[in-house]
Amino acid sequence: MPATLRPAPRLAIVVPCYNEEEVFAYCQQELGALLYTMVQDHMVQPDSFLLFVDDGSRDTTWEQIKAACETETCVQGLKLSRNEGHQSALLAGLAAAAPQAEAIVSIDADLQDDIQTIRRMVERYRAGYDVVYGVRECRQTDTWFKRTSAEGFYRLMAAMGVKQVFNHADFRLLSQRALTELLRYTERNAYIRGLVPLVGFPSTEVAYARGLRTAGESKYPLSKMLALAVEGITSMTITPLRLIATLGLCICLFSVTATLYVLVRKFSGNTVEGWPSIILSIFFMGGVQMLSLGIIGEYVGKIYLEAKQRPRFHVESFLKLSTKQK
């Protein structure tokens, strides 16, 4: 760690938005007020800014972002041409902010993450850390099902060999050099929570209490959480393929043992013919084969998508200080 503090950085706060018309005004007001006080306290540079990324919203989110860009000099807006998903929208915002800022914070528009934690993140950055993870202290505000499924998600990812910070989502600070390295990961199926730890550089955590959503609906119901888990596992580890190989080996060993048992019974003349065991074995092996093919197919599908090297997103419009007339 450096012996002296880093100078106050130009800070960018990147906020992915998808159908956030109910909460956008509140989000902009709160983050704008936070940025103003941080500038007054000389924690960040006066030209620090907010960058809202519209991920193909179907409501008035982009219109509100445009209006904010016209009235607030600290607000920038980035519009994707279509809905690409939270991770792609976040990457688009980070890529746009990287050349402009020394420190970049990502946070969701619902502001369930405590925005005052950003002050502590900047303090850690100035102390020499390049990656600062926002980690939830507890999940008391969640329902039992949400809490159980979320914690199960993190444990499943850990069991599959994915290295990520427990109870950390996408609320973090990255230095410019850490973000530059992160953007070098060009895979189409990017799982940012798993990629950031691979970047290295000095990192630390700050704990915070998560609040209730102000308005709108959660963008991560159970179906999307399961999809995110599949995305993370298949893009970060080959453990499922190794489990298939292990399962196949175990079944082979079991089959050899069973064959020896059947031969002993046959030669001893103590066998009973019947179909239940045959039918059960057929269903069991059929299920194992279908499951194995499904997992292998998921990986083959990932290879197919990566081989085409299609862009992860398309930017329709980018509004910032020098391009307000776009």
Distances (CA, A) of 235 to 28, 92, 171, 192, 306: 34, 19, 21, 10, 11
- Selection from 100, 108, 257 nearest residue 179 by Cα: 100
Checking if the pLDDT of 136 tops 70, the result is: yes
Average pLDDT over residues 3-8: 79
Average pLDDT over residues 24-28: 90
Which carries the bigger pLDDT value, residue 152 or residue 33?
A: 33
Q: What pLDDT score does 277 carry?
A: 63
Tens-digit pLDDT profile for residues 139-156: 666 666 666 766 777 777
Tens-digit pLDDT profile for residues 283-299: 667 667 767 777 777 77
Looking up tokens 């599959």 gives 160
The domain ranges of the chain are: 11-236+311-323, 239-308
Q: What pLDDT score does 142 carry?
A: 61
Q: How far apart are CA 312 and CA 189, in angstroms?
A: 8
Q: How far apart are CA 103 and CA 47, in angstroms?
A: 12
Beta-sheet pairing, 172-175 with 131-136: antiparallel
Tens-digit pLDDT profile for residues 238-265: 677 777 777 777 776 676 676 666 666 6
Residue type, 68: A
**pTM of the complete model:** 0.72
Question: What are residue 17's DSSP bridge partners?
Answer: 54
Q: What pLDDT score does 177 carry?
A: 92
Domain 11-236+311-323 class, CATH top level: alpha beta
Checking if the pLDDT of 172 tops 60, the result is: yes
